[in-house]
Amino acid sequence: MNNREEIVSKLQAACPGALILTDEPMSRHTTFRVGGPADILIQPSSSEEVGAAIKTAKDLDIPVYVMGNGSNMLVKDGGMEGIVVLLGERMSEIRRDGVMIYAEAGAMLSRLSREALNAGLKGLVFASGIPGTVGGAVVMNAGAYGGQMADVLVRAKVLCGEEIIWMTRDELEMGYRTTKPLREGWIVLGAEFELEEGDITALTAETNELSRKRREKQPLSLPSAGSTFKRPEGYFAGALIEQAGLKGKSIGGAQVSELHAGFVVNTGEATASDILRLIEHIQKTVYGINGVMLEPEVRIVGRD
């Protein structure tokens, strides 16, 4: 890697409103609460600074990785090489105009859902308990309890290479946990949603009911990255894992949740290596019994 002080200096010049950290533990920025240090982590304050940070990395020929709340990623114990661009609080503005809401990529989904609820707008209740950011949710077409981002999204602001463009829902090609930006490596900087007028009392009751279901069925008290595996066609990952007798299985500090077998959790002292070894054990065991190869939904990144 080039001289770190030189890289930081170039980033500061290109992104004057950004927060820049070196050797920053990624365990502070992922919901799994594991992961080694990022060489350099930058939190831009605008779409233009996101582009400038990525261009700086490319000009210097060093790796760059863009992330949100870290709710769907597992960073290896060796940390992240190069520059990590974190879209967070410094890019979290939410604006409403009637039934239309625009949110920057770093805004939390839970906050967006709450803003819609307080305005008496329906369509985002499903997102109230998803622990991710708007940008990540659009890229992954996140969903829960019968709803998904594609149901309410009108268009998204996307960084394609060095160009910022607006893409409609159709242009985004949103499928099950996939979009064109995800496949192409493009960055979602913000998104516009069209909701419907609703009754605040009814929306509040629906939100509370979904929160109750999550508390009962999901291990919310322990660090995780949500559902560890994608849903295999014709099956449910959690059911396959439980049928394989793996509920409660532990390797180091990583455990198959005793509450929901579809979640791998950090019981407190897990390393990324523990989690990876448990994921591999689950895959091999389930494949040996059912012939189904489970595919991780969580993104696995970083160096060993």
Q: Note the pLDDT tens digit of each residue in 86-138.
A: 999 999 999 999 999 999 999 999 999 999 999 999 999 999 989 899 999 99
Q: Which two tokens stand for residue 266?
A: 């950090």
List, in order of start, the domains of the chain with CATH numbers. Answer: 4-90 (3.30.43.10), 92-216 (3.30.465.10), 237-301 (3.90.78.10)
Q: How many helices (H) and strands (E) does the chain have?
A: 9, 18
Q: Say how far apart CA 153 and CA 115 lie, in whole Å.
A: 16
Distances (CA, A) of 230 to 10, 165, 263: 39, 30, 11
Query: What is the pLDDT at residue 49?
Result: 97
Structural contact between residues 223 and 267, judged by C-beta atoms closer than 8 angstroms: no
Mark the ranges of the chain whose per-residue pLDDT is less than 50.
none
- Number of C-alpha atoms within 13 angstroms, CB side, residue 146? 4
Contact between 229 and 239 under an 8 Å Cβ cutoff? The reply is no
- H or E element that contains 95: strand 94-97
What was the pLDDT predicted at 1? Answer: 57
Could you give phi then psi for residue 266, rounded to 5 degrees? -100, 110
Query: Do residues 156 and 192 touch, judged by C-beta distance below 8 A?
Result: yes
| CA end-to-end distance (rounded Å), the chain | 17
Q: Which residues are catalytic?
A: 177, 227, 297
In the numeric block, which tokens belong to residue 128?
């109230």
pLDDT at 177: 83
